[in-house]
């Protein structure tokens, strides 16, 4: 297992997520959990949804196996890049000219005045999708070369751009702050493109792309493009269950009390921190290695990586899950309760965070096991499993949103995460899973969870007496 690469990637993601939390702290202080924060999060939701699907899922996990197997890598890569970029640019132009219909889809609970105010921000933010596709494409080429640091740390540029905008416009009216954040998103996206272009040049990958363009008419890659398409379309669903679920939850939250969209956003940001630096960082590093091992019929080598990574994720995610549940109130208080973010809003966000944390371990481990489905080109199976999870999650959201509010939506997402994990393990091989857990490490894990829970329980009591 590539521990050095995993920790390098984790460190880069940690920098990005820490700056992201800094951004959210300033945003909470400037906008609180208000109608303007809800409107900005709605406008940013769609491009951010696609960013997570592209950057952390469907594109990379369909493109990487196809790229590895391609006989004309440069031509294939260039053809895929141009096809996607032209489609996204056309889509972005459509949203620019007609932003209100898509905004209505994003915020069904908003009235016509709120839709009209949100629509221009939706048009601005949507162009971030074009930029992040370029970043994702270049990042996948860098992953092929086992270089992860640039991509891991680049998201910090987006956060720094938004932090700068907040610092400059913090004292302005909420509408000005929301628009400043929207334009900062585009500036951050451009900065990410620039640093990836520099990295691609340093690894001489630009020669691959230039050669691909030069010989695009002399090399036949039609079959490879068809194969990629057959992997990508089911991969969209297979990789995006948590994002689609969160997207639907945001839509449903617009029918709840004002601030519900913001509670979900702030709590999810905390939830995403351990998920990203532990599970996503590990899966990103292992995926090229697992893909190459399976292509070369080295199955035992691939599964040895799974065995080692499982326990790394189990211990780290287990500790983060317990910590997030028991220390939710001190965490939210420390990060957000200042300025326009009130103590009541803290308590609302706490319950949402606790419900999200119930799903941290299954989502993280499902990410690991799903590598083997994508590396072995079983994208359709992964898509079916994701569909089961999504149906359960949405059904639970509809049942829980009224009795529990925003926290019910978060709990529904966690229930979907457990369904995703169980079915993914079953497809990869229950025998493989049982072989892993039939180990002394299982006893160590249970003991650690019990000891850690007891210790954090008393820590939480002490912190709450200090806060209150």
For 420-444, write each residue's pLDDT tens digit. 999 999 988 888 888 888 888 888 8
Of 423, 438, 301, the C-alpha closest to 370 is 423
- Cα distances (angstroms) measured from residue 338 to each of 26, 33, 306: 9, 12, 43
pLDDT in tens, 294-304: 777 777 776 77
Q: Which of 75-89, 96-110, 153-167, 362-376 has the lowest mean pLDDT?
A: 96-110
Distance CA 260, CA 402 (A): 12
Locate 166 and state its tokens. Answer: 């907040």
Q: Where is average pLDDT lowest: 76-85, 277-286, 379-388?
A: 277-286
Please state the domain count of the chain.
Answer: 1
Per-residue confidence band for 170, with pLDDT thresholds at 50, 70 and 90 = confident
Q: Are 67 and 73 in contact (CB under 8 A)?
A: yes
% residues pLDDT > 90 (the chain): 19
Q: Is the pLDDT of residue 230 over 80?
A: no
Both tokens assigned to 344: 């009541």
Per-residue pLDDT band for 18 (boundaries 50, 70, 90) equals confident
**Residue 451 burial (10 A CB sphere; 0-12, 13-18, 19+):** exposed
Band the pLDDT of 355: cuts 50, 70, 90.
Answer: very high
Q: Which residue has the tokens 């992860």?
A: 148
Higher-confidence residue of 447 and 72: namely 447
Whether residue 293 is predicted with pLDDT greater than 80 in this model: the reply is no
Q: What is the pTM of this model?
A: 0.71
Rg for the chain, CA atoms, rounded = 22
**Statement: residue 197 has pLDDT above 90:** yes
Burial class (CB in 10 A: 0-12, 13-18, 19+), 403: exposed
Question: Strand ranges (DSSP E) for 246-334?
Answer: none
Q: How far apart are CA 355 and CA 436, in angstroms?
A: 28
Give me the torsion for CA of 415, 420, 423, 429, rounded to 10°.
Answer: -130
Answer for the pair 396, 264: CB distance below 8 angstroms, yes or no.
Answer: no
CA distance 109 to 252: 8
Cβ pair 375, 289 in contact under 8 A: no
Task: Of 350, 347, 360, 368, give the one whose Cα is nearest residue 449.
Answer: 360
Residue located via tokens 């001190």: 330
- Bigger pLDDT: 3 or 362? 362
The upper half-sphere exposure of residue 34, i.e. CA atoms within 13 Å in the direction of its Cβ, equals 16
What is the total residue count of the chain? 468
> Can you state the angle between helices 128-144 and 35-55, rounded to 10 degrees?
30
- The domain of 70 spans 3-467
pLDDT at residue 396 tops 90: yes
In angstroms, the CA 255 to CA 363 distance is 27
pLDDT for residue 231 is more than 90? no
pLDDT given for residue 416 in this prediction: 92
Average pLDDT score over the chain: 82
């Amino acid at each position: 297992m590539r521990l050095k690469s995993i920790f390098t990637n984790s460190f880069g993601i940690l920098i990005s997520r820490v700056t992201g939390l800094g951004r959210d702290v300033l945003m909470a202080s400037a906008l609180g959990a208000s109608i303007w924060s809800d409107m900005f999060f709605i406008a940013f939701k769609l491009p951010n949804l696609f960013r997570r699907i592209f950057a952390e899922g469907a594109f990379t996990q369909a493109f990487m196996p196809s790229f590895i197997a391609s006989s004309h890598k440069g031509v294939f890569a260039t053809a895929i890049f141009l096809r996607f970029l032209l489609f996204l640019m056309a889509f972005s132009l459509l949203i620019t000219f007609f932003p209100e219909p898509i905004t209505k889809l994003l915020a069904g609970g908003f009235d016509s005045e709120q839709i009209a105010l949100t629509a221009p921000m939706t048009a601005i933010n949507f162009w971030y999708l074009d930029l992040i596709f370029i970043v994702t494409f270049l990042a996948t080429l860098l992953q092929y070369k086992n270089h992860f640091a640039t991509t891991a740390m680049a998201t910090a540029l987006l956060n720094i751009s938004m932090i700068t905008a907040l610092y400059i416009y913090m004292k302005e009216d909420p509408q000005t702050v929301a628009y400043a954040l929207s334009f900062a998103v585009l500036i951050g996206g451009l900065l990410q493109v620039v640093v990836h272009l520099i990295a691609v040049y340093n690894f001489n990958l630009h020669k691959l792309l230039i050669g691909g363009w030069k010989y695009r008419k002399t090399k036949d890659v039609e079959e490879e493009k068809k194969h990629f398409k057959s992997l990508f379309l089911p991969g969209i669903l297979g990789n995006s269950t948590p994002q689609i679920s969160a997207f639907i939850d945001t839509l449903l939250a617009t029918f709840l009390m004002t601030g519900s969209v913001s509670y979900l956003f702030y709590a999810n940001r905390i939830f995403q921190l351990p998920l990203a630096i532990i599970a996503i960082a590990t899966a990103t590093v292992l995926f090229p290695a697992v893909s190459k091992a399976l292509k070369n019929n080295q199955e035992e080598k691939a599964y040895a990586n799974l065995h080692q990574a499982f326990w790394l994720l189990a211990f780290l995610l287990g500790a983060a899950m317990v910590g997030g549940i028991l220390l939710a109130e001190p965490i939210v208080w420390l990060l957000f309760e200042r300025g326009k973010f009130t103590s009541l809003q803290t308590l609302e966000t706490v319950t949402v965070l606790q419900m999200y944390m119930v799903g941290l371990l299954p989502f993280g481990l499902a990410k690991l096991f799903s590598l083997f489905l994508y590396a072995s080109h079983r994208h359709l199976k992964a898509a079916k499993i994701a569909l089961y999870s999504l149906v359960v999650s949405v059904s639970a959201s509809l049942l829980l949103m009224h009795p529990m509010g925003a926290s019910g939506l978060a709990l529904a997402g966690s229930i979907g995460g457990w369904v995703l994990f169980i079915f993914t393990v079953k497809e990869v091989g229950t025998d493989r899973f049982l072989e892993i857990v039939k180990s002394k490490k299982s006893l160590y894990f249970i003991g650690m969870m019990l000891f850690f829970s007891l210790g954090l329980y008393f820590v939480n009591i002490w912190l709450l007496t200090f806060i209150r």
